Amino acid sequence: MGIQITPSILNADLADLAGEVARIGSADWVHVDVMDNHFVPNLTLGLPVVESLAKSSALPMDAHLMIADPDRWAPAYVEAGCGSVTFHAEAAAAPVRLAREIRSQGGRASMALKPATPVEPYEELLPELDMLLIMTVEPGFGGQRFLDLCLPKIRRARALLDKHGVETWLQVDGGVSLETIERCAEAGADVFVAGSAVYSADDPDRMVAELRARAERVRNT
Ligand code: DX5
Ligand code: ZN
């Protein structure tokens, strides 16, 4: 699988989600940040909005659940139309069971790690996942500064995925921009979430293309 760009609509115009998604036609996925004011200190949107957006969006949806009790809620996001559902390792009571449930419903199962959560304890679980998300900011808000301290973990995660020979994608989320995407790609990430970088650009779709070109250049060297 090549480089994939998945813009986050967190910092887009939430009153016009369908219109905002239409501005990123060349993206691979739309990244939807679901926050519950418990797992993170911010509240965004939930199932009814996701369901409605899935119907109007031409792009597949990648739900990033920053919520408590994902064991209970995550499978419903597949039913709501998301092609990929990410739960947080720190919040899941039974991540293996949850990943299997998401997959059995036809969704791609993905697990996220906050900056202070190590990847090593989850090594044996990697074959159960379609994607691993390494957060490069503390989850909760868009527009934060990229945390370089996460780069070694991206490298270690890439090495573990290669060691197990799995097809699991490696996603990064938080502070990804033209300035930081090359570092992430160099460390081994292949799926890039970018929120403010895309939606603060005059032409969001052109920014998607520029981000993709930078990551591809790193990969091809
Ligand atoms: C942060 C969210 C991210 C965020 C990305 O908690 O998970 O998806 O919206 O936004 P930027 O790219 O602005 O950091
Ligand atoms: Zn996110």
CB 64 within 8 A of CB 113: no
Q: What is the pLDDT of residue 221?
A: 85
pTM of the model: 0.98
Closest ligand 1 atom, CA of 177? Answer: 12
pLDDT-derived band at 1 (thresholds 50, 70, 90) equals confident
Q: Residue 174 — left, alpha, or beta (φ > 0 → left; ψ -120 to 50 → alpha)?
A: left
Q: State which of 137, 196, 200 you would mutate to test the pocket of ligand 1, scoring each by most atoms of that ligand within 8 A of its C-beta.
A: 137
Is the pLDDT reported for residue 27 higher than 90? Answer: yes
Calpha distance 30→7 (Å, rounded)? 6
Burial level of 58, CB count in 10 A (0-12/13-18/19+)? exposed
Give whole-number Cα distances, 56 to 51, 79, 181, 189, in Å. Answer: 9, 15, 29, 29
In the numeric block, the tokens 């995660």 are attached to: 157
Q: What is the pLDDT of residue 126?
A: 98
Percent of the chain residues past pLDDT 90, beyond the cut: 99
Q: State pLDDT tens for residues 119-142.
A: 999 999 999 999 999 999 999 999
Q: State which of 134, 144, 145 you would mutate to test the pocket of ligand 1, scoring each by most atoms of that ligand within 8 A of its C-beta.
A: 144
**Could you confirm whether 33 is annotated as catalytic?**
yes
Average pLDDT, the chain: 97
Percent of the chain residues past pLDDT 70, beyond the cut: 100
Domains of the chain from N-terminus onward: 4-219 (3.20.20.70)
Calpha distance 186→167 (Å, rounded)? 18
Q: How many angstroms does the Cα of residue 20 sit away from the middle of ligand 2?
A: 16
